[in-house]
């Protein structure tokens, strides 16, 4: 699926092709916990900075929330924010506690729902 073809209501997650999904699995579980669907697309890290990738994902997502996962950092974005200012950034996520990564996924889903963040 190309980015322009996304019609399914879901959070779009652009993952660096080198990112190991086992490191950010909790992010997906957080979104599932809140009942919000997501779609994962691979995107080479060389294509653009993480914040810009997250902004692109938010701009394309029918739910207006985008996530970019790099090899070390995760960014959550809203298309109404400037591209260089993601709503949330979790740095060095592979060394973070699972609960923190999961909470980021929950908060991305809560952005869709309009609920307070955890």
Tokens of 111: 């952005």
Nearest Cα to 8, choosing from 80, 60, 79? 60
User: Is the whole-model pTM more than 0.75?
Assistant: yes
Domain carrying residue 87: 3-113
Beta bridge partners of 40: 13
pLDDT value at position 7? 79
Mean pLDDT of each 10-residue bin along the chain, 118 residues long: 73 89 90 97 82 96 96 96 97 96 98 96
CA distance 102 to 71: 17
- DSSP classification of residue 93: G
Q: What's 69's domain CATH number?
A: 3.40.50.10150
Backbone phi, psi, residue 23, to 5°: -75, -25
- Residue 99 in any domain: the answer is yes
Q: How many domains does the chain have?
A: 1
- Residue 31 in any domain: the answer is yes
């Amino acid at each position: 699926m190309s980015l322009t073809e996304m019609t399914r209501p879901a959070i779009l997650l652009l993952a660096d092709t080198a990112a190991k999904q086992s490191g950010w699995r909790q992010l997906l579980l957080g979104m599932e916990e809140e009942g919000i669907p997501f779609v994962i697309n691979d995107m080479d890290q060389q294509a653009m900075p993480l914040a810009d990738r997250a902004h692109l994902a938010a701009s394309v997502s029918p739910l207006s929330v985008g996530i970019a996962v790099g090899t070390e950092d995760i960014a959550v974005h809203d298309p109404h924010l400037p591209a260089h200012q993601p709503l949330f950034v979790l740095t060095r996520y592979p060394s973070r506690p699972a609960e923190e990564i999961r909470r980021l996924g929950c908060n991305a889903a809560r952005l869709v729902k309009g609920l307070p963040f955890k």
